[in-house]
Amino acid sequence: MSLDLATTRRIAKLARIGLDDQEIEAVRAQLGGILGWIEILDEVDVEGVPPMIGTSTNAALLPREDAVTDGDCQDKVLSNAPDREGPFFTVPKVVE
Amino acid sequence: MLTDLTIAQAAEGLRKKEFSAVELTKAHTDAVEALNGRVNAYITVTPDKALEAAKKADSTLSAGEAPALTGIPLGIKDLFCTNGVRTTAASKIIGNFVPPYESTVTAKLLENGAIFLGKTNLDEFAMGSGNLTSAFGSVENPWHRKDDASVLVPGGSSGGSAAAVAAHMAMGATGTDTGGSIRQPAAYCGIVGLKPTYGRCSRWGTIAFASSLDQAGPMTRTVEDAAIMLTAMAGHDPKDSTCADVAVPDYRAACGRSLKGLRVGIPQEYDSPLMATEKGNDILAAWKKGAKILEEAGCEIIDVFLPHTRYALATYYIIAPAECSSNLARYDGVRFGKRAEGATSLDDLYEKTRHNGFGEEVRRRILMGTYVLSAGYYDAYYLKAQKVRTLIQRDFTQAFQKVDVLLTPTAPTAAFARDEKPEDPVQMYLNDIFTVPASMAGQPAMSVPVALDDKGLPLGLQLIGKHFDEETIIAVGSALEKAAGFTARPDLRAGVSA
Amino acid sequence: MSYTIEGNTGTWEIVVGLEVHAQVISKSKLFSGASTLFGGEPNSHVSLIDAGFPGMLPVINQACVEQAVRTGLGLKARINLESRFDRKNYFYADLPTGYQISQFEHPIIGTGVVQIELSDGSTRDIGITRLHLEQDAGKLMHDQDPKRSFVDLNRAGVALMEIVSEPDIRSPEEAGAYVRKLRQILRYLGTCDGNMEEGSMRADVNVSVRKSASEPFRTRCEIKNVNSIRFVMQAIEIEAARQIEIWESGGEVDQETRLFDPHKGETRSLRSKEDAHDYRYFPDPDLLPLVVEQAWVDELERGLPELPDDKRDRFIKQYGIPRYDASVLVAEQAIADYYEEVAKGRDARLAANWVTGDLFGALNRTGRSIQDSPISAQALGGMLDLMADKTINGKIAKEVFEDMLETGDSAADIVERKGLKQVTDTGAIDAAVADVLARNADKVEEYRGGKDRLFGFFVGQVMKAMAGKANPAIVNEALKKVL
């Protein structure tokens, strides 16, 4: 299956990966190739087959008790921030 | 030489006071210093921390009752977050990330007395089969073809760990395996690599690639060493919901266990990819040799069928990218990692940061994953793949009604040269053809080196077990290892060349 | 009573469905052990999980599951014994992981119903489509820096219940009644504090209009994040008018997300490129299916408090009070409890009158809630007891009540202190009667001449002469005897 440029651009936008025209074209061609190869799955009849959820090695969630056991670690939370301001992370101004 | 010892031997020597943990560690930090410039197995080395820890290990040892790995120097794949030690995932985007926490697996190893030599190289975010996508340069396989100086890849993604262990720059190392990232580099580097059952080791604190597949495991020079390390690494962790609450046996006890009456399955579908290549003959021969060894050890060899094998790789290349596209969304340059300069808006910040920070292969997989999850394509790709995954798992369930363990090759070829890297990503993905099916089904699997090909490169065989039955693959693996008598070592290793 | 809007081309009906986001009452977050307390230092109630650090994994909070199930039971809804968590993927500065963990395909709670009561006394059932658990996002501050927005993740990861209604609502009043009722139920259950000012409850309002009830639904718009009941009602009215105008001028309503601006009294488009949204939901591979046992659900059901509708019906039956009063008294659990304590063993109707009348009036005046009422239920009951044993009459009771409000003293003390005890000494009353009649001989004539209405005048004069403390029944009797 081939992929068109508009779809490739939309995907890149959704994934927030900035690509120039040349890169978009390269990605389009490569993804197209992979998608073509994946078409082998068309052979498989999955009628009535349930999709795998998680893996079968564990059955269900094991909930934790409701207690405050974490947080209160502002220093750790902010320690790697590339541009912090006091106790805040920052981003370029968002206009809402 | 101290660097030639296995973990089991070193543990004994330490207890007998034949040498100290400081001496053992120093031998390894020296080896790393001598070789890493060329092999590039480590992204970050921490010799001072290691020697500091070795001193403590010596006092623990003299006090007696030291845990199994006390004083044993290990390499840690740079995907495990290590408290206060830079953790990069071999990516520019978190090239300066210093986690304020320790992954569960590495914490368990530390509790068990292990000494960390540093953080080993990998494919960026563990995405690759050749260790060619690291932002910190590629790793050189310590093995070379006879009369050929070409630099070979160590396999991937745990290529730095595999090369470090093979070159005696660590006694063992942690790896992670999503579609073969422990087993394939182990095969390429002539060492043992064990991917446990999904849920056996905690994923907490290990940087995620594909959550439903990622699993940590040991990479060592012997099966026994892998068993020792796994015993320390495995176990329930309430911080990882997918980590199983299943008791951890002493895996080492499974080594040398009798194989009489054990049923070994030979999946009939696994030979076709080999037939197709000229190099496949050596691998087919090694596979036959392995089966013969096991037969002689008292196993019953049974042909089994895993009919959906041929769909596993395509399924994998839908599911793993889908999960990775979501898992890697957090790398946005806001809370940690490298932020692109000069962004004019929030989206611009995201797009520049993620374009500059991720390498080409990672970007490709994120985009692939975004595509297969996007509106209008979800059912055709992602949902379909999860259904096929159910069928792949059923294949294994059915096979394991007839046999106790499966024997297959680990990889379709021996290590290839850097300049032989295929341009087509799909060709590259084919390296995982034998390892991916077990990953999709969550089965434990191990690669054991058994032979050299005609160029003198190591070849590995893969043992696939039932869920949570690592003991059987360890038992079979140790027998295979012993009978195969694989003693070859790479030409590039500690004390030999520098 | 059906609500319609007259347009230029005829009569329009509105169709509304609500998605209410209710913050779950729990100590820690949905998937991390960080505190849910409101108003901490920025980024202090944040774990590395909430901040989306590499390798961090979510673990579900048992209490949040329990709260969701209890809420489901309170909404008479289907409890799904197996549910799942999905990732909703999108990039925004308040969403650290780049996805929100939510429940898309398999929510924990299925269909249920909420009965609403309207001002004309009628009731309507509003269907609940589903309730699911999800994470809240962090907070952005835009006004602290000219070029940057600041990010505080204290709210990130707090558990929310999203409660989705069927498009059953047909008027702004119904929408208001629905949110009020939902809030009442959640507060009774103790699953959400319902505080809309602090944002612990907010609504997304889906509005469309159509020409008649037989016409299929037309395109709807979603008005995001409306944070008061009044605004929900206003937003519906304004949005419906906007849509009618578009349809009537031959236009086409676009399905889009809009924002309600109460200052300008308008809704406006929030996202111009709606097509850019593609959340790529898929099951969260870090989380397994959530399985709950029927036996546990049954146990929770047994432990549920009496809910407002049941309580109202019981009040009507048990206390013989009017439906309206009963509804008012069950509005909040604390009020109902207060009332029941006052009514216990006393004249329940009189108790209802005092609570809904004088007490509510006083609380409103002083801006207090029932929890910090200056007159406890016991104290009010004590005053009713004094009325019952005729120590004071109704008129004096008002004075005593005002004093209680001010001083916090008990009714008995006040009566004692002020000497308000009712006079039942017939001698004193007879003397006062004689005196009043003697001073108003002309009126006595008129009364005897047939002007019956003057009886009240004599009662008043006698009461006045006795400073209001006379027992009215004895006064009546004495007057009748003499006259």
Closest CA to B31 of B147, B163, B126: B163
In whole angstroms, what separates CA C474 from the centre of its chain? 45
Residue C276 is predicted with a pLDDT of: 60
B459, two tokens: 């070849």
Average pLDDT over chain B, rounded to whole? Answer: 96
Closest CA to C288 of C136, C108, C89, C83: C83
Determine which of B370, B379, B397 to mutate to test the interface with A (most A C-beta atoms within 10 Å).
B370
Determine which of C41, C46, C85 to mutate to test the interface with A (most A C-beta atoms within 10 Å).
C46
Range of the domain at C210: 5-299
Q: Which of A53, A54, A65 sits opposite C62 (nearest CB)?
A: A65
Chain B touched by C146 (CB under 8 Å) = no
Residue B498 is predicted with a pLDDT of: 44
Whether residue B181 contacts residue B157, with contact meaning beta carbons closer than 8 Å, is answered with: yes
Residues of C in contact with A85 (CB under 8 A): 144-145, 148, 150
Residue B23 is predicted with a pLDDT of: 98
Tens digit of pLDDT for each residue in B283-315? 999 999 999 999 999 999 999 999 999 999 999
Which stretches of B145-279 are DSSP H helices?
159-166, 183-189, 223-233, 272-275
C219 and C318 belong to one structural domain = no
Separation of alpha carbons B326 and B332, rounded Å: 12
CATH code where residue A2 lies: 1.10.20
CB contact under 8 A, A90 and C145: yes
Separation of alpha carbons B448 and B483, rounded Å: 12
Q: What is the DSSP letter of C355?
A: I
To 5 degrees, how large is the angle CA C159–CA C165–CA C170? 140
Whether residue C228 contacts residue C235, with contact meaning beta carbons closer than 8 Å, is answered with: no
Say which residue, B51 or C451, is predicted with more confidence.
Answer: B51
Task: Name the neighbours of C, counting chains with at least 3 Cβ pairs within 8 A.
Answer: A, B
To 5 degrees, how large is the angle CA B391–CA B393–CA B394? 65
The alpha carbon dihedral of C238, C240, C243, C245 has a sign of negative
Determine which of A4, A5, A17, A28 to mutate to test the interface with B (most B C-beta atoms within 10 Å).
A17
C64 and C198 belong to one structural domain = yes
Q: Please state whether beta strands B172-177 and B192-195 pair in parallel, antiparallel, or not at all (unpaired).
A: unpaired
Neighbours of B95 (CB within 10 A): 16
Q: Which B positions 260-299 lie with beta carbon below 8 A of chain A?
A: none
To 5 degrees, how large is the angle CA A25–CA B310–CA A55? 90
Residue B276 is predicted with a pLDDT of: 65
Q: Please state whether beta strands C99-102 and C139-141 pair in parallel, antiparallel, or not at all (unpaired).
A: unpaired
CB contact under 8 A, A11 and B308: no
Measured in angstroms, the CA of A25 and the nearest CA of chain B are apart by: 12
CB pairs under 8 A between B and C: 97
Whether residue B153 contacts residue B417, with contact meaning beta carbons closer than 8 Å, is answered with: yes
Is residue A93 domain-resident? no
pLDDT(B321) > 70: yes
Measured in angstroms, the CA of B39 and the nearest CA of chain C are apart by: 27
pLDDT(B52) > 60: yes
Whether residue B144 contacts residue B418, with contact meaning beta carbons closer than 8 Å, is answered with: no
Residues of B in contact with A3 (CB under 8 A): 371
Is residue A11 domain-resident? yes
Strand positions, DSSP E, B106-184: 115-120, 172-177
Q: Give the distance between the most distant pair of CA atoms in chain C.
A: 100
CB contact under 8 A, A70 and C61: no
CB contact under 8 A, C282 and B239: no
Average pLDDT on B409-422 reads 91
Separation of alpha carbons B408 and B411, rounded Å: 9
Residue B230 is predicted with a pLDDT of: 98
ipTM: 0.96
Average pLDDT on B71-100 reads 98
Chain A touched by B381 (CB under 8 Å) = yes
A52, two tokens: 């795998």
Measured in angstroms, the CA of C328 and the nearest CA of chain A are apart by: 35
Tens digit of pLDDT for each residue in C339-374? 999 999 999 999 999 999 999 999 999 999 999 999
Q: Which of A35, A55, A92 sits opposite B212 (nearest CB)?
A: A55
Average pLDDT on B96-113 reads 98
Closest CA to C315 of C350, C347, C339, C342: C339
Helix H or strand E encompassing B463:
strand B458-465
Residue B451 is predicted with a pLDDT of: 96
CB contact under 8 A, A33 and B348: no
Range of the domain at B478: 1-498
Residue A58 is predicted with a pLDDT of: 66
Chain A touched by B211 (CB under 8 Å) = no
CB contact under 8 A, C54 and B330: yes
| Strand arrangement, sheet containing C139-141 | A84-85, A88-92, C148-152, C139-141
CB contact under 8 A, B425 and A57: no
C123 and C255 belong to one structural domain = yes
Tens digit of pLDDT for each residue in C295-323? 999 999 999 999 999 999 999 999 999 99
Chain C touched by B373 (CB under 8 Å) = yes
Separation of alpha carbons B48 and B50, rounded Å: 5
CB contact under 8 A, B364 and A80: no
Cβ within 8 Å of residue C168, ≥6 positions away:
C17, C124, C125, C126, C127
The alpha carbon dihedral of B314, B322, B351, A96 has a sign of positive
CB contact under 8 A, A31 and B389: no
* Residues of B forming the active site: 77, 157, 181
Tens digit of pLDDT for each residue in C227-250? 999 999 999 999 999 999 999 999
Q: Which of C44, C62, C278 sits opposite A74 (nearest CB)?
A: C44
Residues of C in contact with A61 (CB under 8 A): 60, 287-291
How many residues are recorded in chain C? 483
C465 and C395 belong to one structural domain = no
To 5 degrees, how large is the angle CA C141–CA C145–CA C147? 105
Residues of A in contact with C47 (CB under 8 A): 70-71, 73, 77
Is residue A74 domain-resident? no
C125 and C30 belong to one structural domain = yes
Closest CA to C396 of C375, C410, C376, C411: C411
CB contact under 8 A, A31 and B354: no
Chain C touched by B485 (CB under 8 Å) = no
Tens digit of pLDDT for each residue in B353-371? 999 999 999 999 999 999 9
Instruction: Tally the domains of chain C.
Output: 3
CB pairs under 8 A between A and C: 142
Range of the domain at A37: 1-44
Is residue A32 domain-resident? yes
Tens digit of pLDDT for each residue in B199-208? 999 999 999 9
Residues of B in contact with C287 (CB under 8 A): 241-242
CB contact under 8 A, C288 and A68: no
Residues of C in contact with B239 (CB under 8 A): 57, 59
Q: Which of A37, A41, A57 sits opposite B198 (nearest CB)?
A: A57
Chain C touched by A91 (CB under 8 Å) = yes
Separation of alpha carbons B128 and B153, rounded Å: 11
Residues of C in contact with A68 (CB under 8 A): 27-28, 33-35
Q: What is the DSSP letter of B88?
A: -
Chain A touched by C32 (CB under 8 Å) = yes
Lowest-pLDDT range of B219-228, B265-274, C128-137: B265-274
Closest CA to B41 of B135, B186, B154, B192: B154
Helix (H, G, I), strand (E, B) or coil at B421: coil
Whether residue B420 contacts residue B170, with contact meaning beta carbons closer than 8 Å, is answered with: no
Residue C224 pairs in a beta bridge with C259
Separation of alpha carbons B181 and B160, rounded Å: 11
Instruction: Tally the domains of chain B.
Output: 1
Chain C touched by A53 (CB under 8 Å) = yes
Distances (CA, A) of C382 to C323, C343, C393, C395, C468: 26, 11, 14, 16, 20
Whether residue A71 contacts residue C27, with contact meaning beta carbons closer than 8 Å, is answered with: no
Instruction: Tally the domains of chain A.
Output: 1
Chain C touched by A66 (CB under 8 Å) = yes
Residue A84 pairs in a beta bridge with A89
Determine which of C46, C47, C56 to mutate to test the interface with B (most B C-beta atoms within 10 Å).
C56
Residue C19 is predicted with a pLDDT of: 98
Separation of alpha carbons C454 and C437, rounded Å: 12
Neighbours of B332 (CB within 10 A): 28
Residue in this structure with the two tokens 């968590």, named with its chain if needed: C85
Helix (H, G, I), strand (E, B) or coil at C88: strand
Cβ within 8 Å of residue C315, ≥6 positions away:
C321, C325, C326, C329, C330, C336, C339
Which stretches of B114-192 are DSSP H helices?
159-166, 183-189
Determine which of B332, B348, B358, B368 to mutate to test the interface with A (most A C-beta atoms within 10 Å).
B368
Chain C touched by B89 (CB under 8 Å) = yes
Residue A95 is predicted with a pLDDT of: 77
Chain C touched by A56 (CB under 8 Å) = no
Chain A touched by C34 (CB under 8 Å) = yes
One digit per residue, pLDDT tens: chain C, 483 residues? 479 999 999 999 999 999 999 999 999 999 999 999 988 999 999 999 999 999 999 999 999 999 999 999 999 999 999 999 999 999 999 999 999 999 999 999 999 999 999 988 899 999 999 999 999 999 999 999 999 999 999 999 999 999 999 999 999 999 999 999 999 999 999 999 999 988 899 999 999 999 988 899 999 999 999 999 999 999 999 999 999 999 999 999 999 899 999 999 999 988 654 456 899 999 999 999 999 999 999 999 999 999 999 999 999 999 999 999 999 999 999 999 999 999 999 999 999 999 999 999 999 999 999 999 999 999 999 999 999 988 888 888 999 999 999 998 999 999 888 878 877 777 888 888 888 888 888 888 888 888 888 888 888 888 888 888 888 888 888 888 877
pLDDT(B462) > 60: yes
CB contact under 8 A, B371 and A3: yes
Separation of alpha carbons C42 and C143, rounded Å: 15
Amino acid in position B167: A
Measured in angstroms, the CA of B81 and the nearest CA of chain C are apart by: 7
Residues of B in contact with C97 (CB under 8 A): 329-330
Cβ within 8 Å of residue C244, ≥6 positions away:
C5, C7, C12, C209
Residue C274 is predicted with a pLDDT of: 46
Chain B touched by C99 (CB under 8 Å) = yes
Give percent above pLDDT 90 in chain B.
93
B53, two tokens: 């820890």
Q: Which C positions 274-303 lie with beta carbon below 8 A of chain B?
A: 278, 280-282, 285-288
Cβ within 8 Å of residue B62, ≥6 positions away:
none
Separation of alpha carbons C270 and C223, rounded Å: 9
Measured in angstroms, the CA of A3 and the nearest CA of chain B are apart by: 10
